[in-house]
Structure 1
Amino acid sequence: MDKPGQTVSATEFAALTGVSRERLRTWERRHGYPVPVRSHGGPRRYEVAEVTRVVGIRRAVEAGIPVTVAIEAESSEPADIGSGVAAGLAEHAPLSIVSLSGPEPLIVRSVNAVVAARPDAPQPGDDLLELAPWFADDPGYATLRRLFTDDLMAAPCTHPDWTGGLRPGAQSLAYCLPHELGHQPLVALIGIDTSRERRTRKLLQDAEAELTRVRAELERDRGFAAAAGAVAEIFRTQAGASTLADATTVLVRRLGAVDAGLAPMMGGALVLGRSSRGLLGPDLVTVARFDDLSDALREGDPTWMPQSVAAAFGAPAGLELLAVPLHAAGQGLGAVLMLFDEREVLTEAGLRLLRVSAGTIALALVRERVAGELQDPGR
């Protein structure tokens, strides 16, 4: 039970009532309630005994009742907890209400209609820890023990979901109820975590997950853009056969690939020399043997290859192979083959940037072939 006149800080009071410190000050300024306790100009403190009233006002306001009306309604003397009126209000309240005796054993003493409507809900007389043994290690159980044994009067409390098969995750405001000397103390759990709030929280979690996914995609796309720019810079400033090897090395570094290699098309086969880090090739792979590879080269789209294709190029087991076709002037010239630790979703922006890099490499490949033919016309 709370001691007469016991106070808590404004921050604690806001946490107990669900009303922000700013809103409490607004109510005080406009409606004269709640009045904080201040000693010698010190910080605001509020009486614990006012928690129940402020929570009632907050709920009324959330239901659309004007603040002034809600404060006046809550100013009347509270009904005795055992009276028929109070019991009727609890029974038909739209929120879950459960009373417990304890702390050991933790026995369900009453449930209201919202809780009783569920076939798997606890019943009066049930031992809560027998129904949900995991709750003994939950922070909410420690909160309940404090309510039964310490001077704490009210606190937010996690507990089993009465209407969800006693799974973890529900929240209530827990109140130590008034009781006569010699009678067992009771704690009432009044639900604040409604199904609507759970749905809202789930939507928020989904939105946060989607935001994380989008940020990851943007980060990958930045990597593709940086790789495309770096490849273009190589061919702008360098010449000679080494530029192709340098370009694949840049792709490995910029895209976080494990390895990469250039495989020109020769007589219906991709001819892969040594890759940048030696994990691929050397191999000659007939394209017609693999439908996925043949389709990717024909359509010109970067495509994740099945393990059979990866193995044909000598890729170690467990790594994923991405084939990036090389096209120039409508002619298929081969592919850049890249190894990754795992597959990633290729966004449209990422695909475009890979095509840009591939186009730059394809033009360089054409340039090298033309240069070779000019040097050796009979080749």
Structure 2
Amino acid sequence: MSLRVLALSPYPLAGPSPRYRLYAFQNPLRERGIELDIRPFLTERAFTLRMNGAKNHPLALARVAFGLAERVAQARSVRGDYDLIYVHRQSAPLLHEHFDRLFLRAGVPVVFDMDDAVFNDYPIDRLLRGSVAATVGNEYLGDYVRQVSPQTRVTCVPTVVDTTQYGIRPPRLPGTPPVVGWIGTASTFTHYLEPVLAGLLRVCRDHGAEFRVIASPDVRGRVEAAGATFIPWSMEGEIQALQEFDVGVMPLQDNVFVRGKCAFKLIQYGAVGIPSVGSDIGANGEVIRHGVTGLLAADPVDFETQLAELLRRPDLGREMGAAARRVIEERFSLHSQVDVMERVLRGAAQVGGRP
């Protein structure tokens, strides 16, 4: 049976969260008779302006106004056009409680999806109680849904990568320095990498390694001032830039928001066949198997110790990287989760009385 699903996202394809949790599933699900009609609130242009700190640019503001009008129209027409509503993170980045009510009143079953502890930033409990099902990036998020809305069916669907697109990192040329790397947004750079960057750079210098940061241009000055190499992020060049890393890192600071993160950096590192060092917090421990696919660190000092351990290895942990790739293929790849997503969406439509 075919299904038409209105998929609401605050961000367009350029946003990492919907890119891997919505857009990645669009073609595989279409082949199974499920049409994901993805409607982002922000356009690519408006999203780029906001990410670069220009949220008050006239084009960004105009898009917000237009996006609000679009959401009203979608809420009014959804009942006749779709079998299911799939809300990724929030129904709209503004007035979301108002839009939550509109979509819940539409009479179409709702599935809610989150890959961060978004409930620390804005209220989602009303939407959860009205949803027939929820997909979550890890069990910490699942526990929150179960506590708030015991009747909502919860399924853990990790954030995934298409391993057919992520080639394994080629061997490093003899005589070239190893590369330790990090990828992320300006916000995650500020909160998690920058506080420990000096120590990681010191370890890299001691072992003749280069440290690279893949991020948006607004952090370039801080990255280069610290002594690291800046690589501008682009959708087209992301995978190739990752394939030049020998070791990936994901430092975190423990708090209620971080415990909801889905370790996506580690998933990307493993997908290109390299080992990682990650803080032993939240979902990082679900992706890294300590001593097998990478190393977990208890605190910033231990993080430096674990990174040094990898850099001292003659193979830079390539066997760990190969094991990490296998784990990603088995658990965190697109092909490993398509069946799960199909079951969730079809089951939610049936619960809601749809065919």
Q: What TM-score, normalized to structure 2?
A: 0.18
Q: What TM-score, normalized to structure 1?
A: 0.17
Between the two structures, name the one with larger relative contact order (CA 8 Å, sep ≥ 6): 2
Q: Which entry has the higher C-alpha Rg, 1 or 2? A: 1
